[in-house]
Structure 1
């Protein structure tokens, strides 16, 4: 009777996930990293201190301290100040429906469509403020709503799941768009005359073939080709 060998997990990965569970999952980037998990990985590798999460504040630092076996310390003021949870609010009179805030929200807490007013789902908003910088008309404010001032561990985990779902959707949409553009290029390539009637035909075909080759190489490498 045979059994497949189980590959032991990298201890750094295990620690990273444990530290990530301690973080509030706001994905605000105030820590200097692209999100909570990248920050957790940096801590696990000894590349980041445990006091760089203003949204989590003292409670999060205490959790991280217990996991890492390091002393508790105040939140690093260079990362920001710990405040009660605030919710993004979009002024409907000024919103132009550009969708930039929707694209910036890491947890799908903003609804709306192109050229239509957007709105924030208060119960889902992490208060990350990432929707504010891209707004071209400055119509987003952070407001304090008492019933939404707390941020529980359950909410944090739900926000993380929404982020994962959003990221998977974006990857899928990118793949679908790439496939559409590749098909369009193939159809264009097939339509170019081969009979010499177009003196620019060879040049056009070469350009399209180069575009297709680059697109296929990028897809085969997992999107890393430039």
Structure 2
């Protein structure tokens, strides 16, 4: 299978995934999982948020037999959203980086809150919280194709922003190294002249 065909197949598989970006499948998000399926490295039954219905969609699309969701990756449950106990939030910001859709608002030493309509229910914000002030509650809603598309777009935007920030940081470090090398070269030249 050509790389171009695999990439196209991964895009089509990704479009069938729920876009919760929860990593329960064992990959860093829905797109990497889709790529792994396209490459034959992952099975179609590793997505708990997609559940048996998601497995059937993938099976139909790939023309392979459907199978039950693999419980090793978790169980399907109704959509939940994160809620922060704002009275106990210390504003540490540790919940911000793992949120795949920037659904958490807050600043250092300030109270944080979750924008429920943007929360995918991924649970990635829970473990980093040092004061255990984040919990999951029922969303009282169904995850729709519109939610999935919004989540995909927000996740991609966050990835682009992080990549840009990393590139800028790397460029700054390279400029600092070049400047330091230039300064050291000048210093060594002065020292060698002093010894003469």
TM-score (norm 2): 0.88
Deviations 1:90-129 (A, max 9, x none): 1112211121111111111111111111111100000011
Greater RCO (CA < 8 Å, at least 6 residues apart): 2
Q: CA RMSD in A?
A: 2.0
Residue equivalent to 1:46: 40
Ranges in structure 1 where 5+ consecutive residues have no aligned partner: 1-7, 200-226
Alignment length (residue pairs): 189
Residue equivalent to 1:71: 65
SS at match of 2:118: coil
Residue equivalent to 1:32: 26
SS at match of 1:89: strand
1:1-226 correspondence to structure 2 within 5 Å:
10-146=4-140, 149-192=141-184, 193=187, 194-196=189-191
SS at match of 1:176: helix
Matches of 1:33 and 1:187 in 2, distance apart? 40
